[in-house]
Amino acid sequence: MASEQGEWLELSTPTGGTIRVLKSAHPRARRLRLTVTPKGARLTYPNGTHVAQMTAFLRHHADWLEQKLGEFHMDADPLPALRVGVPTTLPFRGEEVRLDWAEGPYPRVQHDESGITLVIPGPHHRELLVARGLLATFFEAQIRRDVSRWLPGYIPQINAAPTALRIRPLKSLWGSLDTRDRINLDLALALAPPAALRYVLVHELCHLKVRNHSPRFWNWVESILPEHREQRTWLRAHGSALKAQLDRLIADVAD
């Protein structure tokens, strides 16, 4: 069962544990929405929603909630913090690459076979924020390059096109299609194999034809990307780790 504790709801899970869920009213929310990040679970709800509705919603999603929270705690070792001048590794396009540092006249990212190098001007108190911003811009540009190559081939098949493409960190989703036919993609997809990014793009493009996840929708996805099940499985297995990696790399830069 779920009980209210101030701004938190406590949910008793099927396995006998207790999960605390932060509840947050949103003036533009139209429905209850549950998200899970490395920082915990959050329930966003429209103003005026009764607490009984929230607790019923949480009970209905108890299994999923416990599973998602468990995924974020599978790794025993915490991710190393991003520190200026200290080399590290990160996933990029599905491969582990080296991240190094160099000093130069202006901030930029160098990417070659040896890995990624963040070029930062001389010592400054904002070095880390600059580095995070460089990575966020670099990741977004990579996704846009991939999408720009693939989109011309998919639009004729679907006979529809998005009105815009927005790329930003998403809390729990990989992508979405809004009411204005704008596609939103998670910035963490730059860390995933290109095939996974392609699947999310096709998934959202198919929502231009079918707005739900009915068999008709999945038939559309299957006809355009027969290998979509493999990519869905990959994202379920590795997605939480990718989102955690993105958070440590660009935290405080983009929300």
Joined together, the tokens standing for residue 192 give 């995933």
Instruction: Give the highest mean pLDDT range of 6-20, 27-41, 72-86, 119-133.
Output: 119-133
Amino acid, single-letter form, for residue 79: L
Confidence band, pLDDT 50/70/90 cuts, at residue 72: low
pLDDT band at 38 (very low <50, low <70, confident <90, very high): low
The two structure tokens encoding residue 121: 């001007």
Contacts of 35 (CB under 8 A, 6+ apart): 41, 42, 44, 171, 172
- What mean pLDDT do residues 195-224 have? 95
Q: 254 or 62, which is more confident?
A: 62
The pLDDT of residue 31:
85
pLDDT digits (tens, 9 = 90+) for 86-97: 999 999 999 999
Mean confidence (pLDDT) of the chain: 86
Can you spell out the DSSP letters for 200-238? HHHHHHHTTT-SS-SHHHHHHHHHH-TTHHHHHHHHHHH
pLDDT for the residue 255: 40
88-92, 119-123, 153-157: the lowest-pLDDT one = 119-123
Among residues of the chain, what percentage have pLDDT more than 90? 53
From 44-58, 181-195, 210-224, the region with the lowest mean pLDDT = 44-58
The whole-number average pLDDT for the span 183-191 is 97
Give the model's confidence band at 76: pLDDT under 50 very low, under 70 low, under 90 confident, else very high: very low
Predicted confidence (pLDDT) at residue 2 exceeds the cutoff of 70 = no
Q: Is the pTM of this model over 0.85?
A: no
Return the SS3 of 166: strand
* The pair of three-digit structure tokens given for residue 81, joined into one six-digit string: 């913090």
Indicate the pLDDT class of residue 70, thresholds 50, 70 and 90: low
Where do we find the tokens 């108890």? Answer: 62
Alpha helices (H) along 84-193: 127-158
Residue 30: which pLDDT band, with cuts at 50, 70 and 90?
confident
CA atoms within 13 A on the CB side of 164: 7
